[in-house]
A = this chain, B = another copy of it.
Amino acid sequence: MALSLIALDVPGGDHAPESTLKGALQAVDPSGRWKMDPARILLVGDEPTIRAWLAANGGDPGFRVLHASQAIVKMMGAVKAGHAGAAVSMGNTGAVVGAATLVLGTLPGCLRPGIAVTMNFGGSPLTLLDMGALSQPKPENLVQHGIMGAAFAKCALGIETPRVGLLNIGEEASKGTDLLKAAHPLLAAAKVQFVGNVEGNEVFRNKCDVLVTDGFTGNVLLKFCEDFAAQMLHLVVGECAKAGVAIPREVLGRVQKRIDYSEYGGALLLGVGGIVFKGHGRSDHHAVSNALHAAQRALDARINEHIVTALAEVQTSATN
């Protein structure tokens, strides 16, 4: 079943190929967290380099290898041709999103893809989109993002009826920009569990499972959140040290995990003709391993089929 392969961009990322190949090994480790089948992982990159690295690091557990000088494009081509069902990259965001959109195209019925990230900061997974694929979306794009996010949350995260919220500056439907004012009634009419506007202070207060935002605000918020969390921890550790109190490393690790969306595989490009996960350039092998597993989960849950069905339902009901 060729479609079940997950392609990995081996040279993508700041610490590649060490991080990517080590991540692939970790994903298939029989005593590890994910225990993936090595035969489902397609390593895309310079074959001699990959073979040499594997030989020097305990041998090839049974990966598939696809030689490529332009790994991202080759990987997307493999998905397009049906040789793989999903693609994972820690490479340049613009290159990955560009190649995915160009090579894979959009899913039937999808107007514009969106980038989604999932974080479990508030104690339950929250999927936020769009995080920057579209800087000036239209109301109908936001509605589709809500539908696609809900399909993802249901199929991949197991949330039976995902609550969809709209990031805004007040509770009332009349609040916010023209874009949001127009998107609000459309989301309310869509086949999703729309819970209305969600304000900045409610993002991580479990008011929704999927939070829709324009790509601009999403991008600013995500970048802010990551850096602010790191600075907060640094500040607390520093102030505690001054007071003679040492915060245990495992505490820092647990807190950091709560704000780390690589726990959910990184950023997912929703709406393109394939499963595409994009991790941070600075990803380590843990993040790569998580991304491979998240891609497998999304692929096996057939989320794109669910998305196409959900988008078609809305179009049908809009026509009726």
Contacts and interface: CB of A to CB of B under 8 A. Distances in A.
A199 B247 CA distance: 30
A223 B248 CA distance: 30
A53 interface: no
A23 B203 CA distance: 32
Given A135-B176, A217-B217, A219-B169, A224 B227 contact: no
A148 interface: no
Contact of A177 (B136, B200, B202, B258): B136
A216 B135 contact: no
Contacts of A255: 232, 235-236, 239
A28 to B, nearest CB: 31
Contacts of A178: 136
A169 B122 contact: no
Nearest to A200: B223
B258 A220 contact: no
A236 B247 contact: yes
Q: Give this chain's copy count.
A: 2
Given A169-B216, A169-B220, A247-B240, A231 B200 contact: no
Interface in A234-273: 235-236, 239-240, 242-243, 245-248, 250-251, 254-255, 258
A52 interface: no
A40 B261 CA distance: 52
Interface in A10-32: none
28 contacts: A121-B231, A135-B169, A135-B175, A135-B176, A135-B177, A136-B178, A169-B219, A199-B220, A199-B223, A200-B219, A200-B225, A201-B223, A202-B227, A203-B224, A204-B228, A216-B217, A217-B220, A224-B225, A229-B232, A232-B233, A235-B258, A236-B247, A236-B255, A239-B254, A240-B247, A243-B248, A245-B247, A247-B247
Interface of A: 121-122, 132, 135-136, 167-169, 175-178, 199-205, 215-217, 219-229, 231-233, 235-236, 239-240, 242-243, 245-248, 250-251, 254-255, 258
Given A200-B221, A243-B250, 11 more contacts: A135-B175, A136-B178, A168-B220, A200-B224, A202-B227, A203-B228, A204-B227, A204-B228, A228-B229, A232-B233, A245-B247
